[in-house]
Amino acid sequence: MARVVVDVMPKPEILDPQGQAVTGALARLGITGVADVRQGKHFELEVDDAVDDATLERIAEQLLANPVIEDWRVTRS
Amino acid sequence: MKIGVITFPGTLDDGDAARAVRLAGGEDVALWHADHDLRGVDAVIVPGGFSYGDYLRAGAIASLAPIMTEVVAAARRGLPVLGICNGFQILCEAGLLPGALVRNAGLHFVCRDQRLRVEATTAWTADLEGRELLIPVKNAEGRYVADDATLAELEDAGRVVFRYAGGNPNGSLNDIAGVASADGRVVGLMPHPEHAVDRLTGPSTDGLALFTSVLRATTAA
C-alpha cells in the first residue's frame, strides 16, 4: 500500500470568501501581517501499489476536484 | 405527460416540485436516486435541498448516483431536464451544464423573493419569453462561476436563461441565475419556481409557467 496525498485549492481567479473570513478572524486574534488566506482541501488516500499515476490523476480530476473552479496536486509519499 | 422528480438522501423540495407538476396539469412520477429506472417519463426535475450531505462539493456525489447515469444518457438524447438549486449544482457536476456553483460572496445563506429576467426560450421557458418573474431564492452556494471563454459562449449563444434583476444576491458572474444546454432541453437555475405556483404559499404564481412550458414541449415532440 502507498500513501497518496491530493491537495485541492480554489483557482487563483475564484473569489474565496471563506479564506477572507479566516483572514478577518486572524485580525481579531490580534495577529497582524497575514495578508491573505485561501482555503482548500487535503485528501489522504491509501492505495494499492498497482494504482498508477494516470488513475490517481483521474481520481483527482473527476471526483476530488472540480476542474472548473479548482486546481489540484497529487503527491505520492 | 409524465414528469419525473428525483429524490436523493437530503432532497427537500421534491414534494413541492411534484405539486407544481400537478398544478401545471402533468402527472408527477417519483424517481429514486439508487434506481437505474426513469419509469418512462417525458421529462425530469432534479429538485433542491441537499444530497448525500453535499459532502466534497454541493452536488458532487449525487452527480454519480445510479439515477443520474440514466438522466445524463437520456438528456444527451434530448430528454428535457430541469435542475433547481441543488439540482442545478448536480447538473453542473454531472457535466450536463457548464460552470459551477460556489459559496456566496459574503458567505450568507440568502433567502428572499428574487426578481429574475427570462432571456432565452428553452423547453422550460417557452411560456415565459421576455418576462420578469418574482420567485424565492434560498441557498448558501449559489454563486455561478465559469471561465471567460465559457461565459462568452453562453452569452453569445443566448444560453443565459435567467438573470437576476434588482440586485445580485450572491455575486454570480454576469448576474447569471440560470443557464441552458446548447440544445435548450437541459436548464438549471438557483431560484425555486416550484415555490411560486400558488398564491397561498408563494410570492407569485410566476413559477408555474416553467412546468406548463415543458408539458407543451413534450406534447409537441
CATH number for position A45: 3.30.1280.10
Please indicate if any CB of chain A lies within 8 Å of the CB of B56: yes
Considering only the beta carbons, identify the residue of A14, A15, A66 that sits closest to B57. A66
Q: Beta partners for B134?
A: B115
Catalytic (active site) residue B194: yes
Q: Is the model's pTM score more than 0.80? A: yes
pLDDT at position B26 is 97
Q: Beta partners for B45?
A: B5, B82
Strand arrangement of the beta sheet that strand A2-10 belongs to: A41-47, A2-10, A70-76
Total of domains in chain B: 1
Provide the shortest C-alpha distance from residue B25 to chain A (in Å): 38
Contacts with A37 from chain B: Cβ below 8 Å: none
> Cβ B102–A21 below 8 Å, yes or no?
no
pLDDT at position B220 is 67
The CA distance from B160 to B181, in Å, is 10
Chain A nearest-CA residue for B102: A69
Catalytic option among B85, B93, B119, B195:
B85
Mean pLDDT by 10 residues, chain B (221 residues): 97 98 98 98 98 95 97 98 98 98 94 98 94 97 97 98 97 98 98 97 97 90 56
Question: ipTM more than 0.85?
Answer: yes
Which residue range(s) make up the domain with B130?
Answer: 2-220
- B13-52 residues touching A, CB cutoff 8 A: none
H or E element, residue A5: strand A2-10
pLDDT at position B105 is 94
Contacts with B103 from chain A: Cβ below 8 Å: 17-18
Query: Which cell numbers hold the place of B185?
Result: 432541453
Query: Which cell numbers hold the place of B220?
Result: 409537441
Under 8 Å between Cβ of B101 and B152: no
Contacts with B100 from chain A: Cβ below 8 Å: 66, 68-69
pLDDT at position A77 is 83
> Cβ B92–A68 below 8 Å, yes or no?
yes
Provide the shortest C-alpha distance from residue A63 to chain B (in Å): 7
Q: Beta partners for B49?
A: B11
Span B46-84, pLDDT tens digits: 999 999 999 999 999 999 999 999 999 999 999 999 999
Query: Which cell numbers hold the place of B59?
Result: 452536488
In chain A, % of residues over pLDDT 70: 100
Ranges of beta strands (E only) in chain B are 2-7, 27-32, 43-46, 81-84, 100-102, 110-118, 132-139, 143-145, 160-165, 176-180, 186-189
The CA distance from B86 to B62, in Å, is 10
Give the residue ranges of chain A where pLDDT is below 70: none
Total of domains in chain A: 1
Which residue range(s) make up the domain with A50?
Answer: 2-76
